[in-house]
Structure 1
């Protein structure tokens, strides 16, 4: 079984990169400010998001914190029970946990999440969001394409 500590390092790395990048944006930009990187395609845009993706459920701070805490508890539980061969699922859950923690830190501190990656055709997002989406992708991929043992192997002989 992969040591939990390695998975914790992955989650912690996501949190550190996420929080550093948000602090950098907050220290160098004002809310609403946008810097074109590839004009009309990709900008760094400082947005304070009080909702979830696409701004849904705006100002539901306690709901988002509660959901994240439940998700983190479930992740911690499931990580202990997922066998080593399911590394991609374990990685996905670690990325999900790191992303959730990164966004919860923002919500607890200020009531909103700092977003800044702006591709103009999608809502503005951050490093934690990338980790969450990648983590979900890893989990879904594992669930769809992996073979899972069923029942007692002794009874199947």
Structure 2
């Protein structure tokens, strides 16, 4: 699924560069508008050297990939889907940035910074990861159980 997310976003970015370079397409709720982001989310790190931003994002992407790989056999389907969304979006943005030092954005709402499908996949995956972590948590994960252990026993 990560490869599909990355491929769809990279295809959309190529389309945006070819079609939106001199125009805006208004779809009502969202505009298709070409923008370039030299930083990371919300343009954080815009003034940082390109090599530093690329290296940092590549390292984070690699860490997510290693984590996904190492937990693939034990993770729930929801957690795997979440990790795939984050990883696919991150890969697409790293590949895009590696080409010219910026990430191509093309979705504009007017009330949110311009973004792309990879950004949406990362944010959706992160939200799903939080939800699956909370959902999959058991009392043995550090929570104190208030259930009596046996007859005549009490938990303080």
TM range (shorter): 0.7 to 0.9
Question: What SS is found at the alignment partner of 2:35?
Answer: strand
2:3 counterpart of 1:12: yes
Q: CA deviation at 1:53?
A: 2.5
The 8 Å contact of residues 82 and 90 in structure 1, kept in 2 or not, is answered as yes
For 2:24, the equivalent position in structure 1 comes to 34
Name the stretch that deviates more: 46-55 or 56-65.
Answer: 56-65
Question: What SS is found at the alignment partner of 2:125?
Answer: helix
Q: TM-score, normalised by structure 2?
A: 0.79
Report the aligned-residue RMSD.
2.2
Q: CA deviation at 1:85?
A: 5.3
The 8 Å contact of residues 51 and 112 in structure 1, kept in 2 or not, is answered as yes
Q: Which runs of 4+ in 1 moved over 3 A?
A: 82-85, 148-151
Question: What SS is found at the alignment partner of 1:21?
Answer: helix
Structure-2 separation of matches of 1:140 and 1:96: 12
2:98 counterpart of 1:113: no
Q: TM-score, normalised by structure 1?
A: 0.78
2:34 counterpart of 1:43: no
Q: Which runs of 5+ in 1 are unaligned?
A: 1-9
Question: What SS is found at the alignment partner of 1:122?
Answer: coil
Q: CA deviation at 1:117?
A: 0.6
- Total equivalences in the alignment: 140
Structure-2 separation of matches of 1:54 and 1:37: 23
Structure-2 separation of matches of 1:75 and 1:55: 21
Q: CA deviation at 1:62?
A: 2.5
Question: What SS is found at the alignment partner of 1:114?
Answer: strand
The 8 Å contact of residues 39 and 102 in structure 2, kept in 1 or not, is answered as yes
2:133 counterpart of 1:140: no
Equivalent of 2:16 in 16, 20, 25: 25
Question: What SS is found at the alignment partner of 2:60?
Answer: helix
Question: What SS is found at the alignment partner of 1:58?
Answer: coil
